[in-house]
Structure 1
Amino acid sequence: MTWFRQGQTGGDYSRQIQAAQNVYISEGVKPDEVVRISHELIRAELDRFTQTARTEVERLSLEFLENYMMRQSRVAPESVESLKRPDMQRTLQSAQISFTSCGDENLGQVLVDLLVELSRVQPRDFYAIAIAEAVALAPKVTTNQLDAMAFVYFVRNVEYQWEDLAQMRLEIARSWQPFFAKLDVDRSDLLHLASIGAGSFDISGKFFGEQICEQLPGLFTNGYKLREIPRWIRDEDLIMPAIRNPKLYQLKAVDTDELLRQLELALLPEHGISPYHSLPAEAIRILKGNPILESLCKEDLAGPLDNSKLVHSYCFNLFDGFELSVVGAVIAHTHIESVMGRLSNKTTIDKIRASQ
């Protein structure tokens, strides 16, 4: 049985298996050799079960392996030969044992995608070690806690490029909602995640959502009275009516990068002013100043979400100060992409990948 429904083009299950086998053969790895390696890896584990349990474990082991082979052949066929590496075999063994202990498809998807990701990186680099740790840690997390980690990741570990509130609300409803819809967590869940090393409580005291408010200050400002904005900014047509109060004004830019581009086009060539001049710094101060209240920020972010079990304010306040560890972020990122496909926005894991 295949778990990955989205983006499949291989037809029925048997045809997908055959297509995957063809990829392995073309890469110089025989499919029956993969099965043999897999069976050898967990043989010692099988001997510890009763006959009835052993039959079920063998079935789940084969189900896991077939899903892994199909996923590997479709996502990273060029890395098929990584199965010859000792670290891949050891991690495959760990993932198989974890899945066969419960048969949870949600866990299986995460473990399979972690294996595929591991096949694409060099052994013993930082990211590879984090992935291997994620394989060991993921089975200690419930499906509900996986969704909670995904939700935290969206809020704390993704850089957004929203241009206005409408785009923000649309993307939150599309991306966050699948993980928020059935979320049912309390502080004990977060304490558990912290105890196993998947996250921690940040001593800096940032409220849940503050990173997004800092990334895109133009979407979370109260605005200014016209006289409060320096004249040179008004003269250069860099302001507009405030999005939250049309009687006030704010900069047109939503983030610092956009503001500096606008200054470069509108101001610097005309006046020959260096980017390091005090005027850009003054404009940045206006952009980031006078933010809306924490409660209003949370209300804006939670507005597009729907959950019959949780009150939005409770959920957002619950996550205040909580952030994912690197390993927790790897798990959350993988869970999101297993469900939704590749993320379009830059994330913490993208930065780690690029640094390796």
Structure 2
Amino acid sequence: MTARISLCIVGYGYWGPKLVRNFLGLKECRNIVVCDSMETRRFQAVADFPSVQVTADFASVLANPAIAAVVIATPVTTHFPLAKAALLAGKHVLVEKPLATTAEHAEELVALAARQGLSLMVDHTFVYHSVVARIKTLLDESHLGKLRYIDSTRINLGLFQHDVNVIWDLAVHDVSIVHHLVPERPVSVQAIGASHVANGLENIGFLVLRYASGLIVHSNCSWISPVKIRHMLFGGDKRMILYNDLDTEEPIKIYDSGFEARSDDERSQLLFDYRVGDIHSPKIVIAEALQSMARDFVRSIHAQRPAISNGAFGLEIVKVLAAAERSIRSNGTEIRLA
């Protein structure tokens, strides 16, 4: 029988309670400690989950040999120092997205985890979503034909973040989903954005990823939209998929629509056959993505194998986001990726 582990969730703000609930639901977890510097949050954690222990002392968590893993759900700028301290203390680490705010810091964490022989994982929750899993199957089976583009709209009113811009907060989901679904990696990043608040952090942004195959990915993200939209459109030359994350009944629609040229000569003359066919919405049983993510983290520890959204995966996401930020600072200059 696999030994049950004890872990500490650091940070009991918006995401912390969701993490506690999902880890408590795993039979592989024994004890959960919540660490937060705010007394009101510690009281709330006990009120919400009477079985948890609470502390304000992160150092005591690191010094406790009974705690095998640390889950970090704190402001983005604290991810690197907290994760580094936990890894140095011999703890397995799960970090909320993104892994760090710079590629250099993310690389340091990945290298440190490898040297220590510890699991390092990033909570890119959408990677574990049932709908994303179905889309991956369709793409892997070439159901769409050649994938030509992915166009995402991820907009809403708020919440403004204090430490990162909208690219790091919202476009990160699109980048992680695409990285999970598409085997190749982008060759360049281009982004523009604008800030309408005093701290100068962009609250609206547009991101473009280009690939050697010709695939192009576009992400439109905003904190200043009067409506909430979560759409991703996957365009193939045979079929197309619309993924609406807000539609719980029919989250994906497969359009039997496409385009093709009958000959190279006709292609050069822009003469194409356009096909508009049926729309199919497959039945998908939706499992809670956050619990699937939590289970993958625990099992990566027990099996000593990388999780799906492991540290190396998280590092790739940070590299893209950091390049996007450089592009914004350079008025939309295209940034090449190594």
The bucket for the TM-score relative to the shorter chain is under 0.3
Higher strand proportion (structure 1 or 2): 2
Between Structure 1 and Structure 2, the one with more helix by share is 1
Q: Which has the larger radius of gyration?
A: 1
TM-score by structure 1 length? 0.24
- Larger RCO: 1 or 2 (CA < 8 Å, sep 6+): 1
